[in-house]
């Protein structure tokens, strides 16, 4: 009788020990699965955030490159021809590095006609900014969406207060007084949105505002 009791006790203890070990294994599996899920989720969103960050950096680089080119051209502007929210056209003085090639093409040694224009729905329903140099056009950037309010031009009144130029009226007298142009880039590419703005003073035109009686032809 005692042996039977001891045998049942040992079996019970053995069964309890086995059951406790199984619970430990299940808990370990659950914890491992939870840790792997958290780690995967973290890596997934980290990679997604990193990719989105790199996409944004790439878009910013392209915008800044375009901004630098527009600013360099506009600082050398001789005359503003047209300013609308989606188009900027002006004549610029020839840079020494460009002069010989330009003379060979056009024979004009004084200025070049530059136009930056936004065109919507170009090649696959994307938007593009086109640069035209003496009526020779090429693309400088293309994205899913480029906001049409790209250019703003300003004149100064007698109290040095900025007044926005109305391109729809295109008054030649007011246009000749333009001495500041603001370039607004609002770009969307996939799930990335970038907004960059810069203001540019055309040196030659701004000089007339500061010293209207200087003879710039000397």
Residue 199 CB partners (closer than 8 Å, separation 6+): 180, 181, 182, 183
Helix (H) or strand (E) holding 44: helix 2-75
How many other CB atoms sit within 10 Å of the CB of residue 177?
19
The whole-angstrom separation of Cα 209 and Cα 178 is: 9
Identify the bridge partners of residue 164 per DSSP, sorted by sequence position.
154
The predicted model gives 8-37 an average pLDDT of: 64
The distance in angstroms from the start CA to the end CA of the chain is: 128
Residue 165 CB partners (closer than 8 Å, separation 6+): 83, 152, 153, 154, 155, 174, 175, 178
In this predicted model, which residue has the larger pLDDT, 186 or 25?
A: 186
pLDDT tens digits, one per residue of 105-127: 555 556 788 999 999 886 667 89
- What pLDDT is recorded for position 52? 55
pLDDT tens digits, one per residue of 76-113: 888 889 999 999 999 887 765 555 555 555 555 567 88
* pTM of the entire predicted model: 0.66
Arithmetic mean of pLDDT over the chain: 76
The whole-angstrom separation of Cα 109 and Cα 1 is: 122
User: What DSSP letter does each residue of 1-41 carry, written as one string?
Assistant: -HHHHHHHHHHHHHHHHHHHHHHHHHHHHHHHHHHHHHHHH
pLDDT tens digits, one per residue of 115-169: 999 998 866 678 999 999 888 898 998 898 999 999 999 988 777 788 888 877 7
How many other CB atoms sit within 10 Å of the CB of residue 125?
9
């Amino acid at each position: 009788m005692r042996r039977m009791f001891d045998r049942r006790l040992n079996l019970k203890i053995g069964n309890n020990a086995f059951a406790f070990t199984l619970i430990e294994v299940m808990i370990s599996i659950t914890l491992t699965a939870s840790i792997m899920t958290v780690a995967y989720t973290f890596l997934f969103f980290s990679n997604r955030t990193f990719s989105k960050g790199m996409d944004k950096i790439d878009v910013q680089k392209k915008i800044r490159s375009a901004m630098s080119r527009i600013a360099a051209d506009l600082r050398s502007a001789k005359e503003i021809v047209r300013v609308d929210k989606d188009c900027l056209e002006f004549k610029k003085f020839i840079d020494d590095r460009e002069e010989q090639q330009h003379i060979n093409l056009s024979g004009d040694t004084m200025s070049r006609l530059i136009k930056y224009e936004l065109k919507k729905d170009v090649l696959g329903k994307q938007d593009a900014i086109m640069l035209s140099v003496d009526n020779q056009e090429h693309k400088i950037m293309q994205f899913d969406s480029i906001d049409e309010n790209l250019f703003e031009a300003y004149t100064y009144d007698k109290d040095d207060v900025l007044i926005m130029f109305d391109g729809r009226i295109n008054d030649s007298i007011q246009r000749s007084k333009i001495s500041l142009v603001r370039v607004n880039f609002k770009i969307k590419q996939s799930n990335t949105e970038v907004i960059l703005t810069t203001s540019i003073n055309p040196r030659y035109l701004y000089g007339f505002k500061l010293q209207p009686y200087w003879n710039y032809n000397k």
